[in-house]
Amino acid sequence: MDRKLKLCFVAGARPNFMKIAPIIRVLSEISGKDSLSMRVRDMEYLLVHTGQHYDRNMSDVFFRDLGIPEPDWNLDVGSGSHAQQTARVMIAFEKVLLQEHPDIVIVVGDVNSTIACSLTAKKLNIKVAHVEAGLRSFDEAMPEEINRRLTDTISDLLFVTEQSGVDNLLREGVSTDRIHFVGNVMIDTLTDSLKRFEDGKHTAAKRITQWTGSHERYAVLTLHRPSNVDDRETMSGIWSAVSSVADRIPVLFPVHPRTRKQMEAFRLPLNGVSMMEPIGYMDMLYAVKGSTLVMTDSGGLQEETTALGVPCLTIRENTERPVTIDVGTNYLVGTSSSSIRQTAELILNGNGKKGGLPALWDGHAAERIVQILTEFSP
């Protein structure tokens, strides 16, 4: 083609940048005179942050931690209902596409921005690639499930992290030429970050190292899903189990503002849990890698704990990442206080499963994605 192939990366929330970062790093760092390097030099990219979730106070350190440039566009759509947010992203992103004219839009994950930008691009006859495709919780009460299913339906390239994703897409009738099992870019970011810790190129915040260093064993907790934290009975049951863990080992809890508000409304006692403001990716990674146990309702932490070999209790009734259970260190414990408590006791008593590393979680998923992108003809 006469001009460079133009890629448009989209991220809507901070976790999305962990998935975008390794792909941008490969595009930026690849060099040489081999055929792949030559094709990469015939590509250019721009980065769009929809502003679906945006913490201006942490943005500088966040982008520095991940080694990616500031976004070319920040749409600042902010929060709102699912319909309001999705609509604002579509309206703002359409203007970007009409001005930038990219050949391929690359979306990641399953947030509202993912489906909004995918749909906007397809309406303008622009190709779409979905990173982290094929994951299914089979729970349509989850907004994320709707987002990822619809995004997969209209995407031209589907980059899959685990075999279950391939199986799900095939079962849904997706043609094999659209499906690419490439591994997990989140693990690329984790692998690179661990090297930076080892090389002394990055250190966790003093408050994190002081806290973790003062405890021989400790647990890390994250809770943010509305189905868990908005219901008094559910949250009280979860907190009862967390408190029982805190009776055995200290618990570090970087707390989401929404969760803190609900805890105060429900008057839940701390019971030895150390609460702190939300922390950045590198600080969280440092805390998790040294922990005895992680309790979470997050999707990404299920993957990261498996890669780190740290036992993880997923406080949900379902998971879209079954490989972390079948191969890794993850336990799906539901929201029952007794189930959480019993599984935590199993781990704390040294009887937890060891787990292993899923296929292609080797830190090179981004390289495979770039290889495929260079061979794709819009």
Q: Enumerate the active-site residues.
A: 224
Nearest Cα to Cα of residue 120 among 141, 151, 143: 151
Contact (CB, 8 A) for 54 and 62: no
Q: Residue 339 burial by CB count (10 A; 0-12/13-18/19+): exposed, middle or buried? A: middle
Could you tell me the CA-to-CA distances from 117 to 44, 151, 241, 252 in Å, in that order?
A: 19, 9, 40, 36
Give the 3-state secondary structure of residue 203. coil
Spatial distance between the Cα atoms of 291 and 167, rounded to a whole number of angstroms: 33
Contact (CB, 8 A) for 223 and 296: yes
Spatial distance between the Cα atoms of 194 and 1, rounded to a whole number of angstroms: 39
| Token pair listed for 112 | 């509202």
Contact (CB, 8 A) for 249 and 217: yes
CA pseudo-torsion sign 190, 192, 198, 204: negative
For residue 178, give the DSSP letter: G
| Token pair listed for 40 | 């990469």
Residue 41: how many CB atoms within 10 A of its CB?
15
